[in-house]
Structure 1
Amino acid sequence: MYRCDCKSNVLSVLLYVSECWKFTANIEKRLEVFQTKCLRRIMRIFWPNMISNEELRRRAGVSTISEIIATRRWQWLGHVCRMPIDSIPRVALRWTPQGKRNRGRPKETWRRTVDRDLKTRGLTLQTAPTIAADRAKWRSLAVASSTRRRRED
């Protein structure tokens, strides 16, 4: 019951278009805090009842927000890599703006987040489209990465 409430009412609104977000440690922390607050409220686990966040997610049957977003981002990247070369999302993926950033602008971008995801799987933006053409192999890379991330925690 808790899993359905959380997935249908909370996560669907919270993660709307999350595959296109830049993903910093600060954003990740805020989302994780929000998820645990919501789960504790839905499951009626209040502060006197000491329970770890991992146990809370296990009882609720949900993954961490960062795992969900990483999976969504990986699926979206595969979709974009399979698009025709002249499509707008594919062109935007390769596009590099001219000039320098203004002072104070954030250095983390969506493209750098994607580059980091690809690097953890041993890929680059140039090799990704050929592997994304094979959907089964692309999905296996997403699953392998999420299980590796869980083992590291």
Structure 2
Amino acid sequence: MGGRGAECWPAKKKHTNKINVAEMRMLRWMCGYTRKDRTRNEYIRKKFGVAPIEDKLRESRLRWFGHLNRRPIEASVRKIELLDFAHVQRGRGRPKKT
């Protein structure tokens, strides 16, 4: 399951949890188990040979990171690495949620 664009958005724990729950519901449905059967997720994953979604997200993010690191230093995405944010001060008050 290679989620296109998953390497770009910042996946919060809340998002990965929801994706994980949806995936487990689908896997349970495919093999005919219900929550009442109390079958462990690891057993169901092993039965289908599916890796946890967090691992797949991390893998795609690392692939994208390696992609960016192979770009020349003059590329716009690499120029951000050279910027110095030491002089930037945070605003007062509570930080924004996003």
The TM tier, using the shorter chain, reads: 0.7 to 0.9
The partner residue of 1:77 within 61, 65, 82 is 65
The partner residue of 1:25 within 13, 18, 24 is 13
Bigger Rg over Cα: 2
Q: Aligned pair count?
A: 93
Does 1:36 pair with 2:7? no
Q: Give percent identity, aligned residues only.
A: 22
Task: Classify 1:49/1:96 alpha carbon distance in 2 versus 1 (closer, same or farther; 3 Å).
Answer: farther
Q: CA deviation at 1:43?
A: 2.0
Q: CA deviation at 1:99?
A: 5.2
Give 1 or 2: higher helix fraction. 1
Deviation by residue 1:75-111 (Cα, 9 ceiling, x = unmatched): 110110000112233234x2577553673233xxxxx
Does 1:67 pair with 2:59? no
Q: CA deviation at 1:20?
A: 1.1
Task: Tell me the amino acid that sits aligned with residue 71 of structure 2.
Answer: M
Does 1:105 pair with 2:97? yes
Q: CA deviation at 1:62?
A: 0.6
Give the RMSD, CA atoms, in angstroms: 2.2
Unaligned regions of 5+ residues in structure 2, if any? none
Unaligned regions of 5+ residues in structure 1, if any? 1-10, 107-153
